[in-house]
Amino acid sequence: MSVLLTLNAGSSSIKFAVYLTGKGPGDEPELLQAGQVENLGPVAQLVLKGAAGQVIDIGPADHTSAVAAILRTLDPVLKGRAVTGVGHRIVHGGKTFGAPVRLTDQVLEQLEAFVPLAPLHQPHNLAAIRAAIAAFPEAVQVGCFDTSFHKGHPFVNDTFGLPRRFYDQGVRRYGFHGLSYDYITSCLRRDWPELAKGRVVIAHLGNGASMCALKDGRSMGSTMGFSALDGLPMGTRCGQLDPGVLLYLMDQGLGVQEITQILYHESGLKGLSELSHDMRILLASDDSKAREAIEYYVFRIRRELGGMAAVLGGIDGMVFCGGIGENASEIRARVIDGMGFLGLELDAKANAANATKIGSGPAQVLMIRTDEEQVIARAVAKELHAGKCD
């Protein structure tokens, strides 16, 4: 039995997991080991999850050397088994890619063209892909796109009020965090089948944050738009912003690089609090700016929740996921507080215990731990089994 590897590359980290592929096309890939390389740069660390629980200092590391460190660490797990497939999270698939795809030279060339659409993520995704191709030249490389889940949005959610020619050129609302939404949707279909057929809002709350409106498992609306800057405030990203602000900044003499730095790296929770992008630090702080940053964060989630309810014509359930959504019970409580008019009420005891079912009202409120790597692994396994049948 062979194994497959998943790589989820961000700007400062690479999440990874290794799975047994399974014997048949219907078999779920079996997780062997997962972890991540953190703090890419001069003092990177490799952290293994689960029973292994190791933290390994690997020193200076970029994406290529980090992939090499991952492979060295996984060698005892692989036990000589061949890596026959590698799956990659790719943030942007543009107008072109609506499903996982085998990564060829032609596809990689197309993905390079999307770098301006996701400058914080796409270059790092591509760097990890090239490192994996170098390490496993015979393995099938599969790309899974965060934008794919939202492909097929209604036109009114896709477009901006700009001249139509820009929409035709690709200036439209793509939506992101699609792998996370895909996983949560699969959990709903398995464990909450009636709810999965209804109107559900998923809040993926982490360092990156967005919300998605689902009807019968299909994305009908997303808070993120053309880029991963839109919608909710995030760890260091601004969220929704009046475009007039950008015109003002330009008029003040700021260039593209300076504005990009502000919007992607200096805004959101970090910029508002002037303390940290880490919600745990902000919740523990007595600083008034930390408190105000949290208040704005919660306000925007509640405001978007109302918008999602309007898109769906009501709500049958809400799901929290992501690092903050899964672990910050106080944030969940503040979001749901006073939302009884939407049928959303919280079971305080269950919420404090980080239970799965945390609602007490007519609409379900759930906390489900997302697993983007599992979605990637499923796509790779499907590609591998399809290749056997060709």
312-330 confidence digits (pLDDT tens): 999 999 999 999 999 999 9
Res 1: pLDDT? 67
Domain with CATH 3.30.420.40 in the chain: 3-145, 192-367
Query: Rounded CA gap, 68 and 49, in Å?
Result: 18
**Type of residue at 225:** G
> Region 196-219: what's the mean pLDDT?
97
Nearest to 150 by CA among 214, 237, 241: 214
The model's confidence at residue 52, banded by pLDDT at 50, 70 and 90, is low
Give the three-state DSSP class for 316. Answer: coil
Beta bridge partners of 341: none
Nearest-angstrom CA–CA distance, 302 and 308: 10
- Helix (H) or strand (E) run with residue 320 in it: strand 317-321
- Confidence at residue 388, expressed as pLDDT on a 0 to 100 scale: 63
At 389 the pLDDT is: 47
Residue 120 has pLDDT above 90, yes or no: no
Nearest CA among 18, 8, 68 for reference residue 48:
18
Among the listed ranges 129-133, 158-162, 344-348, which one has the minimum average pLDDT value?
A: 129-133
Q: How far apart are CA 326 and CA 324, in angstroms?
A: 5
SS (H, E, C) 285-315: CCCHHHHHHHHHHHHHHHHHHHHHHHHHCCC
Q: What beta strand segments (E) does 2-125 contain?
A: 3-9, 14-20, 30-38, 41-48, 55-61, 83-90, 101-102
- pLDDT interval class at 5 (50, 70, 90): very high
User: At residue 333, what is the residue type?
Assistant: A
Residues in the chain, total: 390
317 three-class SS? strand
Tens of pLDDT, residues 329-378: 999 999 999 999 999 999 999 999 999 999 999 999 999 999 999 999 99
Cα–Cα distance between 13 and 351 in angstroms, integer?
Answer: 30
Degrees (nearest 5) of the Cα angle 361, 363, 364? 95
The pLDDT of residue 257: 94
pLDDT for 135 equals: 87
Contacts of residue 266, defined as CB under 8 A and 6 or more positions apart, other chains included, come to 236
pTM, two decimal places? 0.94
From the list 27, 75, 146, 242, the catalytic residue is: 146
Looking at residue 40, what is its pLDDT?
84
**Does 12 have pLDDT greater than 80?**
no
Mean pLDDT confidence for 186-213: 97
Q: Per residue in 269-284, pLDDT tens?
A: 999 999 999 999 999 9
- At residue 41, the pLDDT reads 86
Per-position DSSP letters for 191-229, written without gaps between them: H-HHHHTSEEEEEEESSSEEEEEEETTEEEEES--SSTT
Q: Is 81 exposed, middle or buried (0-12, 13-18, 19+ CB in 10 A)?
A: middle
Tokens read off for 195: 């709810």
Contacts for 54 with CB less than 8 Å, ≥ 6 apart: 46, 47, 48
Percent of the chain scoring above 70 in pLDDT: 98
Fold of 192-367: Nucleotidyltransferase; domain 5 (3.30.420)
| Pairwise CA distance, residues 53 & 327, whole Å | 19
Instruction: Give yes or no: 146 in active site.
Output: yes
Give Cβ neighbours of residue 351 (< 8 Å, ≥ 6 apart): 329, 332, 333, 358, 367
- Domain covering 3-145, topology: Nucleotidyltransferase; domain 5 (3.30.420)
Supply φ then ψ for residue 154, to 5 degrees.
-55, 145
Q: What is the mean pLDDT of residues 98-110?
A: 95
Helix axis angle, 178-191 to 372-389, nearest 10°: 80
